[in-house]
Amino acid sequence: MNNSVFLPVAVSLFVCSMIMTAVWLWAKKIKNAGIVDIFWSYNFPVIAVIVFFLANGFETRKLMICAMVMIWGVRLGTHLGRRVISHIHEEEGRYAQLRKEWAPIAEKKFFWFFQAQGVSNVLLAIPFFIITQNQSPVLSFWEYTGLAIWIIAVTGEAIADWQLDSFKKDPGNKGKVCDSGLWNYSRHPNYFFEWLIWVSYFIFALGSPYGYLAMISPAIILYLLFNVTGIPATEEQSLRSKGALYEAYQKSTSAFFPWFKKSN
């Protein structure tokens, strides 16, 4: 792999760390760690800008992958931003629970948590670093396939987010569980399509030297969704807030894959 890849990696790591430090200071002031989700998403477009200008790959390929990352990251970050800002002085349940568990040194632990999020941005960006170093002037089958999967995944994630937002905006649904649209088949269709987006980046990277290394990104995302900050934390909070209603929903739907619905 070309040694020039280390410059965009190093710059990305430094910039993401600085951004997360600033976000932690803001979170500390307003007592709401939930804002980290917004900037975790926005950090990927930041990395896209860095690799576009610092990597030395084929311009068209760089433009394609960086545009994909920008569109996805800005959409997701803006969606999360609207949600978090709407209750900026009320910390989301997952983070409020962490604050209780980490007391009395919660702020210190949140600092390192935020830094870990910045490191994860750079680690997950491995496909972008690989792709933007590829100097071949010919786009491959893998790159077109990755683009096609990305379009499906971004569209699916946007639909899932829109359906949940629409459900929550209806006052008559207060205290209820969203079980319409994609949410009728999966408890987390947004997470599924989020993972599929990372699969698309991996597929896209297979058209470049060392592209197989990009497999680490969807693998990490899948692990995090099933074991760390995704499904477990979300389901625990849903059970705390909705109780028996959510238990019934769990029994009738798939945890992740939207095409598989359990029978009652």
Tens of pLDDT, residues 40-76: 999 999 999 999 999 999 999 999 999 999 999 999 9
Cα–Cα separations (whole angstroms), residue 249 to 147, 199, 245: 34, 28, 6
Domain boundaries, the chain: 1-136, 140-264
Percent of the chain at pLDDT > 70 equals: 97
Average of per-residue pLDDT across 73-90? 92
Residues 6+ apart with CB under 8 A from 41: 73, 76, 77, 80
Q: Is the pTM of this model over 0.85?
A: yes
Q: What percent of the chain has pLDDT over 90?
A: 66
Over residues 103-133, the pLDDT tens digits come to 999 999 999 999 999 999 999 999 999 999 9
How confident is the model over 158-216, as pLDDT tens digits? 999 999 999 888 888 887 888 788 988 888 888 899 999 999 999 999 999 999 999 99
Q: How many helices (H) and strands (E) does the chain have?
A: 11, 0
Name the average pLDDT for the chain: 91
221 in Cβ contact with 229 (< 8 Å): no
Q: For 247, how many CA atoms within 13 A lie in the half-sphere containing its CB?
A: 3
Residue 264 — very low, low, confident or very high, per pLDDT cuts 50/70/90? very low
- What is the sign, positive or negative, of the torsion defined by CA atoms of 135, 140, 144, 145? negative
Residue 238's pLDDT band (cuts 50, 70, 90)? confident
What pLDDT is attached to residue 3?
Answer: 58
Say if CB 36 and CB 20 are below 8 A apart. yes
pLDDT at position 259: 65
Considering only CA atoms, give the Rg of the chain. Answer: 19
